Structures are given as structure tokens and as C-alpha cells.
Copies of this chain bind each other. A is one copy, B any other.
Amino acid sequence: MEKGKTYTIKKYVSVTSSINHSHFNTVAASITNVTAAYVRGFDALHEEHVAAWKAIWANADVVIKGDQAAQQAIRFNIFHLYQTYTGKNPKLNIGPKGFTGEKYGGATYWDTEAYCIPFYLKTAPSKIARQLLKYRYFQLDKAIENAEKLGFTDGAALYPMVTMNGEECHNEWEITFEEIHRNGAIAFAIYNYVRHTGDFDYVSKYGIHVLTAIARFWVQRFNWSEDKKKFVMLGVTGPNEYENNINNNWYTNFLARWCIQYALECNDRLEKNGVSLTAKEREQWIHVTDNVYFPLLEGTNVYLQQDGFMDKVMLNAADLPDSERPINQHWSWDRILRSVFIKQADVLQGIYLFEDRFSEDEIRENFNFYEPKTVHESSLSPCIHSILAARIGDEECAYALYLRTSRLDLDDYNHEVSEGLHITSMAGTWMSIVEGMAGVRVIDGNLSIRPMIPTKWNSYSFQIFFKEQPVHIHVSTKGLEMTNLGADSLDFSVIDNKYTLAAGEKQMITLH
């Protein structure tokens, strides 16, 4: 090399894995790839790279004006989500830390279904989310095997809490055997996919098998209580992992009943294409769903987290001295379990999932009951609360909870960034803007928007996919501007008014 001259060294690297190649061919494939890359050359590859990211940002960006910290945070989160997962291969999933840390071992959790799928459904064409659904479809046999080990029969499936290859790889009974609501999240993801994409074909080809096996699990997992004359579910752990081995977790009971109902609906719709349910099985499913027990707080609209919840000492998180928080680093496990404090409020998670079944007053009553008791010691917690706070018009609370999630890693609130970033909860942050601030929902197959804007912001905007059509949503202090970027006309509602936009059309809607 000539002295004093600057050289650019280009290095071509190909990463291949035995997941995609036979063990024997892994190295050879790598050489083939890297040779092809070299032949195409750095500039062409770089252009492709730039184009790929441009396409991602065109679909997924959220632009916030007037709040630089919020803008930086949401882009940081979106970047990391697409850095982690782009949906190329149904054998891959999203670890809670992505590739940024070794904690959780890169394994798959229910986080994917509960938080990441809503993100990819709206920010990418449907095939990306479909890959995540297929990941579970391909592991159905293992889930059936897992349920058999626990004494279930007739093709009932229990998906693992944590997995690499479909087998359970968590090691605590209160999680593996009892935190079974994950089965519901997996079924709900299929439903969520269908309502966002309109693609029922996925159900008839793949989803129906997963839905049916999950429904069979729930039907067997409920048991008849002669005492209550209802079906009860004993010994579970809900998403609020600060309770173990509880009876009649409202969230799990509600989700389980819904799973059976949805599986039945899909089977009926598919008729002969569906998994053939016997008449007896069908009857039993209906008998169970007609008679599920739900714990309620008498004289109120509050759904009780579990049986016996009201025996606890009723305190608020605000009563906890700072020196004892987070309680999971200061209290013994039994003390956490019997306290009223909630890691993430699963009744609110249930209301979030099935929001259109609850009146605004009911949502408010439950939010006001549970939010003060929630210590948010799961990174997945604040976003759901933020979305519900927005739903009931508590703008201040919604914004405060949004901030809590969005800059979690950038500002290293919990002094744990060295363990890796909270990749899956980053999707929750995005949800707090799109579903929270903008109030985007799919209700009865239609797009519904109920926007608000935090005082500090001038405007925010983003694009979503709805039934494969891109829609641009811009919210400012002046109002909501909707742009139909798709090829078909778009029906949608804003609060209680209905609108239709032709392809390419834009409409400004003033808000009060």
C-alpha cells in the first residue's frame, strides 16, 4: 500500500446456520454466499441495504413533532425491532432481549404474540406476522406432546412458556405448569391476524389445527365445581406473576373461554375443512363456555384478579417506600405473593384484549381499581396501562406511562441495560402511541380511531396496514388527517362517526 494514502478495506461476510443448511453443507453454503456477495460488490450490496431500511422506515416510522426525547425513543425502538426480526424464516422468533444480550437465552416467550405481532401486523405486509404464527404451527406436535406429559389427552396442546424448538425449557413448576395463559395469547394472535389482514385462508390451512388443540386443552383444564355449579380453573399463574397457584384468575378464565368459542366459530365456518369435531365434543365445548365462573367484586363492575383477592391488605404502590422498590429485589417471594401488589395487571390485560366488550365506565372502574396497586415490575406492564388510560381519557396518565416505557433502555432507568435491551416491550411502546394516543382499533372488522395528543406534542403521524392496504394517520392539535394510501376505498370510524375514503384520498377531521 502507498504510504499516506487512505484505503477502504471491504470485508465480505456470510453467516450460515445448520437451521437452514445440512450440517455438512453449512460451510459450503457460506462460501457460495460470500462469493456471490463479492461478485455483486460492495456498492450494490450497500444500496440494497439502504433500500431495505428505507422500505422498513416508509412503513414503520412514527414522526413526533415537538418532543425530541419522545421522537428519539420511538425510532430507537422501531429500529431495534426490525434489527431483530424481519420475518424471513418461520423457524425464527423474537427473544425478549433480541440479539442485544444473553438474558433469556434468545428463547421465545408469549411476548411475541402479545406485543410483537400487533406491531408487525400494522407496520408490515401480512406475511411478516404470518411467519410468527407459522412458527407456532410448526411446533404444534411438541405442544401436544407437552400437554400429554401433564395428563391431557385427545390432541390437547399446551405451548411452552419458553422455548427454542417447541419443547418447554423453563424450570419452575409455577411457570411451566401453571402460567398457561400463554396458550390463549397464541390463539388470540391468530384472531388478531385475521381481523387485521382479512386473511382467513391462514386459519383454514394452519391456524385451525392450533386453535382446536388449544381449545381442547382449555376444555380439559376447566373442572366442574359442584360447590359453585360452574366450571372453575384451579392452580394457575396469570400474567401477573406476583401470584402463583391461584384459583380462577379472571384473565385466564376469560381468555380460555374465548379460545374455545373462537375455535368453535372457526371450525363451524370451515365445516368440512376444519378439524372434525364430534357432536359430543362440540356439545361439551358449548357446555363449558356457557358455564364458566368469573370472580367479581360484589356491588361493583370490578373483575377480581382471582378468588380470595379481597382478603389481602389493600394498599397502593404509592404506600411503598422507595427503599423497598422494586419489591422483587427487596421482599421474599411469599411476601410478594400475599401482598396486593401487582407486577402487571392481568384484568387490565384482558380488558385491553377484548376492549369492545366493556363500556368506558367499566374500563375506568377496573383501571382505577388496579392501576394504583400495580408496581409495573415487568417492562411489559406500563404500555397496556398507557393504552387504557388513553381509552378512558386520562391523558396525563397515558403520557406518563408512555414515557416510562419508551426511554427505558435509552435512559437505562433500571440500571440493567448491560443485560440487553427490552426488545419485546419496545413493541409495547409503539402500541402506546398507535393504540393508546391514536386509539387505533379493529372493531367488528372495521378500522376505528379515537385520537388524543399529549399536551407537549405538536403532532404525530404514522402509517399502518389494514387489510393489506396502507393508511396514513396524522394527529395534530388541529385534528386528525387520514390518508388512504391503498388501492381500495377505506371505511373507518372516528369516535362515533363513520367515514369513507377513496383510494389516494385524504381527509381532515376536526376533534373536540
Contact = CB atoms under 8 A, between A and B. Distances in A.
A169 interface: no
Contacts of A312: 223, 225, 234
A311 B247 contact: yes
A235 interface: yes
Interface string A288-314: 000000000000000000011011111
A440 to B, nearest CB: 38
A12 interface: no
A375 B36 CA distance: 68
B334 A226 contact: no
Interface string A136-177: 000000000000011100000000000000000000010001
A400 to B, nearest CB: 29
A171 B366 CA distance: 37
A224 B313 contact: yes
Interface in A236-286: 244-247
Contacts of A177: 332-335
Interface string A5-20: 0000000000000000
A167 to B, nearest CB: 15
A116 interface: no
Nearest to A331: B151
B334 A235 contact: yes
Given A177-B332, A177-B334, A235-B334, A227 B311 contact: yes
A228 interface: yes
B245 A151 contact: no
Contacts of A314: 226
A248 to B, nearest CB: 8
A92 interface: no
A338 B235 contact: yes
A178 interface: yes
Counting contact residues on chain A (CB < 8 A from B), the size range is 20 to 34
Interface in A212-236: 223-228, 232, 234-235
Contacts of A331: 151
Given A308-B234, A312-B223, A334 B173 contact: yes
Given A234-B308, A308-B307, A311-B247, A334 B224 contact: no
A235 B337 contact: yes
Nearest to A337: B235
Nearest to A247: B308
A244 B247 contact: no
Contacts of A313: 223-224
Interface in A431-458: none
A246 B365 CA distance: 28
A313 to B, nearest CB: 5
Nearest to A334: B177
Given A224-B313, A226-B314, A310-B227, A332 B150 contact: yes
A338 B335 CA distance: 22
A226 B151 contact: no
A225 B178 contact: no
Nearest to A224: B313
A333 B247 CA distance: 15
Contacts of A311: 223, 225, 227-228, 232, 234, 247
Contact of A338 (B173, B234, B307): B234
A237 to B, nearest CB: 10
Nearest to A244: B245
A72 B175 CA distance: 48
Given A228-B311, A232-B311, 14 more contacts: A151-B331, A173-B333, A177-B333, A177-B334, A177-B335, A223-B311, A223-B313, A223-B338, A225-B311, A225-B312, A234-B312, A234-B338, A244-B245, A307-B307
Closest 5 CB pairs of A and B: A177-B334, A227-B310, A235-B338, A234-B338, A225-B311
14 contacts: A150-B332, A150-B334, A151-B332, A151-B335, A173-B334, A223-B312, A223-B338, A226-B310, A227-B310, A228-B311, A232-B311, A234-B338, A247-B308, A247-B311
